[in-house]
Structure 1
Amino acid sequence: MTEAASRRRGRPPRTESADTRDRILNAAREEFSERGYDKTSVRGIAKAAGVDSALVHHYFGTKEQVFESAIEVAFAPALNAPEALADGPLDGVGERLTRFVFGIWENPGTRTPLLAIVRSAVNNDTAAAVFRRLVASQLLRRIAAQLDLPDAELRAELAAAQLVGTAMLRYVIKVEPLASADPEQIIRRLAPVVQGHLTGP
């Protein structure tokens, strides 16, 4: 049997596999953004990507696993937060983290996929579990490691709760006057509170 014939019967070539995988991920992010977790199906993702649904299962498995892979890419900018903490003195960590987080939310390119993630997590237990797992393992524990304090994980979670809660009210629920307030004003007021959670007594 020739190599070409063998490849036709087996998996697609590596470059084709990467392209197909990326196409499925892009389609999944768009589907989850537009429809939310509950109304998105593997079949719908496959149709949007122009592939058979069996290929979605082949590359990612279940809908939950597709969601996790899709949001991991969308959530990637937020995963640089621990580096933002490390880049400077500890007494300015609250402002650096607050400024970093709101920089992501204020950027339309990163805000749109984040909104999709948060909305899905709020409305669906499975999506919430995936989001929680990603945030805990890849973000909060890394932030806690930068603090080097006995209750570092709780401190990181409280700081995150402050920032996520404010972001929810501003960008998702759009409560006024918070929704239209100047971002710099929010950062000035929020940064000392976040600093207190991270390094206060």
Structure 2
Amino acid sequence: MTAAAAPDLAALARQAAFLRLQGQAGQSAGLCGRVRDIDPNLARFDAFLDLLTWARPRDRLYPLIRDLVDAGFANPRSLDLLAAAAIWAGESEAARALTDPDRLLSITSLHGPDEPDLALLAQELGSGLDRYDRPGDRSIRMGWRRNHLERADSPVLRRMFDRLWHAASAYIERLPADPDNPFLRSRPPGLCLRAWSVVSDADTHHLPHLLRGRAARGGRCGG
């Protein structure tokens, strides 16, 4: 018996966009959720945005994305897209509600300058690196990464993750309740931490992490 072929995630994302254009927000959100379950990084989600911006001017996308989020597809990619769509539509207050740093940004120091873990941590983060020149599934260019730090058994990394966990949990606890705000309303009941380290030189850079589709580049096809 042969294994089933992996699903074409770009095709599923385009199908979800078509459903959204047809007014089927719930079915579209469900299919987007299926794509996310298979690929939590949503590396092929740009195909969703490309189809939407082929079919609609980007200043008319805000209600489509808002309905998608309200139907249950709420995650960093869709909330980023919602904020961008609000800006494109001139809905500045809606965009500000999703990105307001005074309300949503928190800065926490995990180490003091004399923290003995710092030298060990720097050594650990710079070991076991893989070279990435122009990978198709990552934004890094001409640099080195150590992936899946959360899987490491290193004591210093475990201490780092313990501190990060407590800081992230405290941040979530401090967030206000606001049923009208899609970001605050959709926060999950729990969290998980994933991490990687990057070592760079003068040629290392990153592509934009989010909205790398047609709309982010400013082009559009169709009427």
Asked if TM exceeds 0.5, the reply is no
- Please report the TM-score for the alignment, with normalisation by the length of structure 1: 0.27
Report the structure, 1 or 2, having the larger strand content.
Answer: 2
Identify the structure with the greater helix proportion: 1
